[in-house]
């Protein structure tokens, strides 16, 4: 499956399926992320207080005031410090990185990096050494994200989950990989194995249940409970990506989904397939028009920027963020 299809599937199908399966099982609704809008300009922060690092275990996080898409939003994530006042590389830090990287496609990578450094210096009042450490981690995190996008999927979910874990360890080392991605990697491996068992026609229902129980017996009880709470949406999402990669026909998709989720869910997932196809067609049309504008040497820079912005008017704000992210990653569909 091509890179742009994976990027679109991860954003579009995963979010939609999570809402779908919540509605079918009457689970609590998922809170939408506090992401920035589409058209960003210059970043600015307000900061107050002294220059001391927070006490051990504290997390530093401050509101951000924006002239544009981040106006009235609050930074997600923060910096947690150890007993010696040094920053920790943990999930809070990863969330902070993700918050700033949400503007990918709106700002150049160097500008995003500068925004983060400004936040560390002016809002969180980190000293030069702490800033340097956090920025080094940020660069490594960005490198991992790029490598993840560029990784060619094999179609074997278990193999891909193992390759992704190896990629994290190879670029970050065991400790940092575990801190940022350990839970995700464990979850991906579990989900891939559950999907493999569900699709294994050589096993009886009792065999599948027993093998899954054997896997879960090795898990921490809290992790096991969390996996059960979210696995349905992940399995359905992975299954949809497999179907797309293999070009599986609608009837087969419906039958296999119905066996796992029931008729109602299978029907709704089929509707999501059509919605994704419609989305892909719209993005492909945008890519064609965008390339034509970029290739038109008769246009002035201002005229080109105006027309490029006009191309995005047919998308909602959330869709524009997705389209701009695909463009930034050179992952728009070929045409």
Q: Where are the domains of the chain?
A: 59-149
- The radius of gyration computed from the CA coordinates of the chain, to the nearest angstrom, equals 22
How far is 273 from 249, CA to CA, in rounded Å? 11
In sequence order, which residues have a C-beta less than 8 Å from that of residue 29 and are 6 or more positions away? Answer: 19, 22
pLDDT in tens, 207-225: 777 887 787 787 777 777 7
pLDDT (average), residues 137-152? 94
Q: Over the chain, what is the mean pLDDT? A: 78
How far is 272 from 278, CA to CA, in rounded Å? 10
Cα distances from 103 to residues 89, 97, 106, 210, 325, in angstroms, run: 22, 11, 5, 45, 8
- Would you state the torsion angle of the CA atoms of residues 257, 233, 138, 126, taken in this order, to the nearest 10 degrees? 170
pLDDT (average), residues 160-170? 95
Spatial contact of 107 and 40, defined as CB atoms under 8 Å apart:
yes
Cα distances from 66 to residues 72, 78, 193, 196, in angstroms, run: 7, 18, 44, 46
Q: Considering the entire predicted model, what is its pTM?
A: 0.51
pLDDT in tens, 82-103: 999 999 999 999 999 999 998 8
Spatial contact of 98 and 31, defined as CB atoms under 8 Å apart:
no
Looking at mean pLDDT, say which of 1-15, 239-253, 280-294 comes out highest: 280-294
What are the φ/ψ torsions at residue 154 (nearest 5 degrees)?
-90, -20
How far is 254 from 198, CA to CA, in rounded Å? 15
56-73 burial, b if ≥16 CB within 10 A, otherwise e? Answer: eeeebbbebebebbbeeb
Sign of the Cα torsion 275, 281, 284, 289 reads: negative
Spatial contact of 61 and 75, defined as CB atoms under 8 Å apart:
yes
pLDDT (average), residues 10-27? 39
In this structure, what token pair is assigned to residue 65? Answer: 């005031």
H-run or E-run covering 98:
helix 91-101
Per-residue pLDDT band for 231 (boundaries 50, 70, 90) equals low
pLDDT (average), residues 285-293? 95
């Amino acid at each position: 499956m091509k890179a742009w299809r994976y990027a679109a599937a991860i954003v579009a199908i995963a979010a939609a399926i999570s809402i779908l399966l919540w509605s079918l099982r009457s689970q609590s609704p998922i809170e939408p992320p506090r992401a920035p809008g589409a058209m960003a300009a210059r970043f600015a922060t307000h900061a107050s207080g002294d220059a001391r690092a927070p006490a051990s275990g504290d997390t530093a996080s401050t509101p951000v005031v924006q002239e544009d898409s981040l106006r009235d939003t609050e930074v997600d994530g923060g910096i947690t410090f150890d007993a010696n006042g040094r920053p920790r590389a943990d999930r809070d830090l990863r969330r902070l990185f993700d918050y700033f990287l949400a503007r990918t496609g709106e700002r150049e990578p160097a500008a995003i990096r500068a925004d983060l450094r400004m936040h560390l210096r002016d809002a969180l009042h980190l000293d030069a050494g702490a800033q340097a450490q956090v920025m080094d981690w940020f660069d490594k995190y960005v490198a991992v994200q790029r490598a993840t996008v560029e990784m060619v999927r094999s179609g074997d979910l278990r193999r891909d989950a193992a390759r992704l874990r190896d990629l994290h360890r190879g670029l970050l080392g065991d400790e940092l990989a575990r801190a940022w991605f350990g839970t995700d990697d464990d979850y991906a491996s579990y989900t891939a194995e559950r999907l493999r068992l569900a699709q294994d026609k050589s096993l009886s229902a009792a065999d599948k249940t027993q093998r899954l129980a054997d896997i879960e017996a090795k898990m921490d009880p809290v992790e096991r409970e969390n996996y059960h709470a979210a696995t349905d949406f992940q399995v359905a999402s992975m299954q949809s990506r497999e179907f797309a990669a293999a070009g599986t026909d609608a009837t087969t998709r419906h039958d296999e989904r119905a066996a796992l989720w029931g008729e109602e869910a299978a029907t709704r997932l089929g509707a999501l397939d059509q919605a994704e196809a419609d989305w892909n067609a719209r993005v492909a049309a945008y890519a064609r028009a965008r390339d034509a504008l970029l290739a038109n040497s008769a246009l002035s820079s201002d005229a080109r920027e105006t027309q490029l912005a006009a191309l995005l008017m047919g998308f909602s704000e959330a869709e524009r963020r997705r389209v701009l992210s695909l463009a930034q990653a050179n992952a728009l569909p070929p045409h």
